[in-house]
Chains A and B, each alone.
Chain A
Amino acid sequence: MIRPGKMLVQVLQSLFKKSATSQYPFKKSEMPAHYRGKINFHPELCIGCKMCERDCPSNAIKIVKVGDKKFEAQFDLAKCIYCAQCVDSCIKKALESTKEFELAVLDKNKLKVTFCADVKKDTDK
C-alpha cells in the first residue's frame, strides 16, 4: 500500500532505543584480531634480507645495518599505507602488524619511527 510516513513506526521505536552512535574518543573501540595497524619490528629476528624494503608499495620502510648482524628499521608512518605486505614478505617473521590505529600526531617528525636494535647489549657481551 503506497502511503506517506511508512517509517513512522520504526522512527518512533528508535526514540526509546539506545542510540547507535559509537562514543569513540570516550570509549575506546576494539579492533578485530588481525587488524592491519601500526607495524611492529623485532630486531632480534631480522636477518637484513631487505625483502620488506623491496616490496613496500610506498617506500615507507628502511632496514639499516647498525652492527654485526644487528639491524634497525626506520618507518615513515606518514608514507605507510598499512597494507602489511612487509609482514607477509618477511621470511623470519620479524615484522608484525598491531591493533594500534590512533597514530595522528601534531608533529610530523614523530611519524618517523625507528626500531633500534639493542647495540649496547651486544657490546656488553
Chain B
Amino acid sequence: MLISIFNLLVFPGIIFLGVAGMSAEFIDRKLYARMQNRTGPPWFQPWADFIKLVSKEDVVPTEANPRMFRAMPIFALTSTITASFYIPLWSTHALYSFNGDLIVTIYLLTIPTLTYFLGGWYSTSLYSKIGAIRSLTQLFAYEVPLLMCILAPALLANTWSLSEMAKFYSHHHWYWMFNLLGFAISLIALLGKLEKVPFDIPEAETEIVGGTFTEYSGRLLAMFKLSINIETIVGASLVSAVYLPFGLQLTPALGILLYVGKLLFIISILSLSRTIFARFRMDQMVEFCWKIVSPLAFLQMLICLILKGVLAI
C-alpha cells in the first residue's frame, strides 16, 4: 500500500515526472534558443513560469461549461501520468504490466488530445473552438501512423506488452535496428502529439491566438502546461522503450544514465525539428501524414512481418 502511494506520488509518479518534464522543457527551450543564436532561459524558467501561473486567478468564461472547463486539465494530467506506469524506463520491467498494456498506453496518451479538444470546445470562444477542431483533425492524421509503427516492433516481438517487448529485444540484441524507420515515423507522430512546430497548428498563435488554450488561465493553464511537459517525457520514454531497447540489463546506475541519454537524444531531435521547419497548414499536414507517413508505417509493418517469417521467431 505504502509502496503504491510512493509510486503514485513520488516515483515514477507526479513528482518525478513533473521534475523531468520541467527539465525537458528547459532543455528544449535552451536548445531552441542556442540554435537560434540566442542565450535562452535560465534553468529555473519553467519553474518560475509554473509558479507564476499557479499563483494567478482562474478565470472561467461565463459562456463556458464550468465543470468540463475545470475537469479537462485534471484529466489530461492524470492520463499522462498513468500512461507512464506501463512503460519500462531503464530496465525490462515496468511498474505494472499485462499483455495488452501497449494498447492501453497509446490510448492513455490519446486522452490529453481529447481533453484539449473538449476543453477548447467547452470554453466556447471562437479561437478555442477552431483550435479544438484543428487538434482533433490533427489527431486523425498522426494517430494512425503512430499506432501502426508502434505495432510493428510488437509484431516482431510477438507480444502486446511493453515489458515483454523490452525483454525480447534484450535477448535479441541487434533486432531494434530493423525498426529504425519506425523510430523516425514515431518521432514525426510525437511532434504532432505534442503540438510542436511544424505541427503546432492547433495553437498557431499568429492565426488563432492561443488555440485551444485561449481561455485558460491560472492553475488550469498551469496544469495543461505541466501535462504537456509530462507528455513529452512519457512520449519520449515510450519511443525509447519501443525503438531503442538496448542496455536494459545494465546496473541501475548505468541504466538510468543510458535512459537519460536516450531521452535527451529524442528531446534534442524534437527541438531541432522545431527549429528548422516552418509550420504546416492543416491540409498539408493531413496530406503529409496520410500520403507519406502512413505508407511508410505500413512498410515498417511489412518489414517486421517478413523478418518474422525469415528469422522464424
Q: Could you list which residues of chain A lie within 8 angstroms of chain B, going by C-beta atoms? A: 4-8, 11-12, 14-15, 17, 19-21, 23
Docked pose: A5 CA to B35 CA in angstroms:
13
Among B34, B39, B276, B277, contact of A15 (Cβ-Cβ < 8 Å) = B34
Query: Can you list 7 A-B contacts with CB-CB less than 8 angstroms, sorted by A residue number?
Result: A4-B276, A15-B31, A15-B34, A19-B33, A19-B38, A19-B40, A23-B39
Determine the chain B residues whose CB is within 8 A of the CB of A11 once the complex forms.
35-36, 272, 275-276
Given known pairs A5-B277, A7-B276, the reply for A14 and B39 (CB within 8 Å) is no
Determine the chain A residues whose CB is within 8 A of the CB of B275 once the complex forms.
7, 11
Q: A4–B277 contact, CB under 8 A?
A: yes
Q: A14–B276 contact, CB under 8 A?
A: no
B269 to chain A, nearest CB (A): 12
A11-B272, A15-B34, A19-B39 given; 16 more Cβ-contact pairs under 8 Å: A4-B276, A4-B277, A5-B276, A7-B275, A8-B276, A11-B36, A11-B275, A12-B35, A14-B34, A14-B35, A15-B31, A15-B35, A19-B33, A19-B40, A20-B38, A23-B39
Q: Could you give, for residues 140-174 of chain B, a 1 whenever the CB lies within 8 Å of some chain A CB and a 0 otherwise?
A: 00000000000000000000000000000000000
A24 to chain B, nearest CB (A): 11
Q: Does B284 contact A (CB under 8 A)?
A: no
B285 to chain A, nearest CB (A): 13
Closest to A9 in B: B276
- Bin the interface of chain B by size: 10 to 19
Determine the chain B residues whose CB is within 8 A of the CB of A21 once the complex forms.
38-39
Docked pose: A4 CA to B272 CA in angstroms:
12
Closest to A4 in B: B277
Closest to A11 in B: B35
A20 to chain B, nearest CB (A): 5
Q: A20–B37 contact, CB under 8 A?
A: yes
B281 to chain A, nearest CB (A): 15
Closest to A22 in B: B39
Determine the chain B residues whose CB is within 8 A of the CB of A12 once the complex forms.
35
Docked pose: A125 CA to B37 CA in angstroms:
63
Q: Could you give, for residues 12-41 of chain B, a 1 whenever the CB lies within 8 Å of some chain A CB and a 0 otherwise?
A: 000000000000000000010111111110
Docked pose: A14 CA to B38 CA in angstroms:
9
B28 to chain A, nearest CB (A): 14
Determine the chain B residues whose CB is within 8 A of the CB of A14 once the complex forms.
34-37
Name the residue in B31, B37, B277 with the highest tally of chain A Cβ atoms < 10 Å from its Cβ.
Answer: B37
Q: Which 7 A-B pairs have the closest CB atoms?
A: A21-B39, A14-B37, A19-B39, A11-B35, A20-B37, A5-B276, A7-B276
Docked pose: A23 CA to B34 CA in angstroms:
15
B37 to chain A, nearest CB (A): 4
Closest to B32 in A: A11
Determine the chain A residues whose CB is within 8 A of the CB of B272 once the complex forms.
8, 11
Docked pose: A95 CA to B277 CA in angstroms:
53
Q: Could you give, for residues 293-312 of chain B, a 1 whenever the CB lies within 8 Å of some chain A CB and a 0 otherwise?
A: 00000000000000000000
B50 to chain A, nearest CB (A): 24
B287 to chain A, nearest CB (A): 15
Docked pose: A21 CA to B275 CA in angstroms:
18
B218 to chain A, nearest CB (A): 29
Docked pose: A8 CA to B275 CA in angstroms:
8
Docked pose: A21 CA to B30 CA in angstroms:
13
Determine the chain B residues whose CB is within 8 A of the CB of A19 once the complex forms.
33-34, 37-40
Docked pose: A26 CA to B33 CA in angstroms:
20
Determine the chain B residues whose CB is within 8 A of the CB of A23 once the complex forms.
39
A44 to chain B, nearest CB (A): 47
Docked pose: A5 CA to B276 CA in angstroms:
5
Docked pose: A20 CA to B272 CA in angstroms:
19
Docked pose: A12 CA to B38 CA in angstroms:
13
Docked pose: A38 CA to B36 CA in angstroms:
35
